[in-house]
A and B are shown apart, each in its own frame.
Chain A
Amino acid sequence: MLVFTRRRNEAIIVADGIEIRVLRVSRDAVRLGVTAPPDVPVHRHEIYEQIREENCRAAQGSAGSAANVPEALVRIRAGQGGEG
């Protein structure tokens, strides 16, 4: 891992044109500004992790849960109150 020391208003550049700038520093938080090309997604790590975990659960479950699908379909088609 590359480690930098940056002060307020200082930045690092990643690859072509991705800039990460320190905007504000407080006791236990750092406010960062990210400037990136429009096709480069930027996410909070925990949001990516949450979705990754949910995807893994869904994919792992899909093999085991295939047997449950017909019953689930009957349940939701019946709609517990009717379709539509």
Chain B
Amino acid sequence: MTTINSQGAATTRVDTAFGTFQVAPHDVIEFPAGMPGFEQCRQFVLLSSDELAPFQCLQSVDGPAASFLVIDPRRALPDYRCALSETDRVRLGGTEDDALLWAAIVTVQAEQTLVNLRAPVVINPSLMVGYQLMPSNSLYPLRFELTRLY
């Protein structure tokens, strides 16, 4: 469903596991490689709400519906620093590292909350392009238990 928001932009309703959001065309982030397991999903939106904060929802808007809960990895580990490979830099458009957005995928279970710090999603907001990194030599865990926020 398309509606017009207060700024006059056409927005589309996106239903996720974490609520309903309105997104505008300029909110769409291209994932040229999709994500492992969701290779057909090439367009995502990163959705925020007060209820979800500090989590956000990374939701596909094409291909099969894929809905991920994500968090800035530095909220889980303040000194988190994942090196970008030359390939990552080229594919992200060669921007300054400080300008990139980082989103680690969260799995919420009944008793624990796990964060994938091994393979973070990185977005270049100026190009609206994103990739999930797959560092071959990362020491960060695939399933980091999130017990506190920084």
A contact residues vs B (CB 8 Å cutoff):
38-44, 47-48, 50-59, 61-63, 65-66, 68-70, 72-73, 75-77, 79-84
| Pairwise interchain contact A62-B149, C-beta atoms closer than 8 A | no
Q: Which residues of B pack against A, CB within 8 Å?
A: 17-18, 33, 35-38, 51-52, 55, 66-69, 86-87, 90-91, 105-110, 113, 116, 118-119, 132, 134, 136, 142-143, 146-150
Q: How far apart are A68's CB and chain B's nearest CB, in angstroms?
A: 5
Determine if B148 and A80 form an interchain contact, defined as CB atoms under 8 angstroms apart.
yes
Chain B min CB distance to A44 (Å)? 6
Q: Does the CB pair B147–A41 fall under 8 Å?
A: no
B15 to A: closest C-beta gap in Å: 11
Cα A62 to Cα B105 with chains together (Å): 10
A52 to B37, CA, bound (A): 5
Look across to chain B and name the residue whose beta carbon is closest to the beta carbon of A40: B87
A48 close to B148 (CB less than 8 A): no
A68 to B39, CA, bound (A): 27
Known: A69-B52, A69-B55. 19 other contacts (CB 8 A): A38-B87, A43-B134, A47-B134, A54-B142, A55-B38, A55-B132, A57-B107, A58-B105, A59-B38, A61-B109, A63-B17, A65-B17, A65-B107, A68-B108, A76-B113, A76-B147, A77-B149, A80-B148, A84-B149
* Contact with A51, one of B36, B68, B148, B149 (Cβ below 8 angstroms): B36
Is there contact, CB below 8 Å, between B107 and A81? no
- Give the distance to chain B from A16, nearest Cβ to Cβ, in Å: 15
Smallest Cβ-Cβ distance to A57: which chain B residue = B107
Residues of A within 8 A of B148 (CB): 76, 79-83
Min CB–CB distance A19 → chain B (angstroms): 16
Cα distance, A64 to B67, chains bound together (Å): 11
List, in ascending order, chain B residues with CB within 8 A of A72's CB. 108, 113
- Whether B108 pairs with A47 at a CB distance below 8 angstroms is no
- CB of B119 within 8 A of CB of A51, answer yes
Contacts of A50 in B (CB 8 A): 142
